[in-house]
Amino acid sequence: MANMQGYELARKGELLAGKVAVRDLSRLAAETVDGSGTVSWSIQGTMTRLRHPQLNLDVSADLRLACQRCLLPMSYALRSQASLVLTATEESADHIEALLEDESLDVIVLQEENDPLLLIEDEVLLNLPLAPVHDVCEAPAVAQETARSAFAVLKGLKESKS
């Protein structure tokens, strides 16, 4: 979405929507186990009460992440909504944030290279958990055996000192 397209989308109140494979979003694919899954998205253009252009993002994705407890793959369903107020410069972004006084709105500088998929990928990345974990991990048999072996070695060391 070129700079004018984002502003036009907001001004006209238009809607863009689609689906994209996770493997086609390189930064997101690198955060997943295997790059599988799909991201569904929509971007609704609108104007703020002070007549600033705004894009409302709605994103959902079914991802496969690595559990940080057991390191096995896990399914993760992401759902996110964000409202982005558009501006052309950093200076105007600070001014708009002060005027809006709305914590739920993020003010962004819309660059020429911004396109819908970059905004969508950013939104998904910002909403990934820092340390995804299963509700209940099933430790692999190798890890359980290694843990038992380590404790057996410690027990043997303690007994040999006695």
DSSP symbols for 107-124: EEE--TT--HHHHHHHHH
Q: What is the pTM of this model?
A: 0.75
Taking only the tens place, the pLDDT of each residue in 78-92 is 999 999 888 877 777
Please list, residue by residue across 73-109, b when 16 or more beta carbons sit within 10 angstroms of its beta carbon and e when fewer do.
Answer: bbebebebebbbbbbeeeeebeebbeebeeeebbbbe
Q: What is the mean pLDDT of residues 46-61?
A: 91
Question: Is pLDDT above 50 for 3?
Answer: no
Q: Cα(27)–Cα(30) distance, rounded to whole angstroms?
A: 5
Of residues 107 and 131, more confidence is placed in 131
Of residues 138 and 22, more confidence is placed in 22
The overall average pLDDT reported for the chain is 83
Share of the chain above pLDDT 90, in %: 47
Give the pLDDT confidence score for residue 155 in this predicted structure.
76
Q: What is the dihedral of CA 7, 9, 10, 15, to 10 degrees?
A: -160
Highest mean pLDDT among 11-15, 22-26, 113-117, 148-152: 22-26
49: which residues sit within 8 A by CB, 6+ positions away?
none
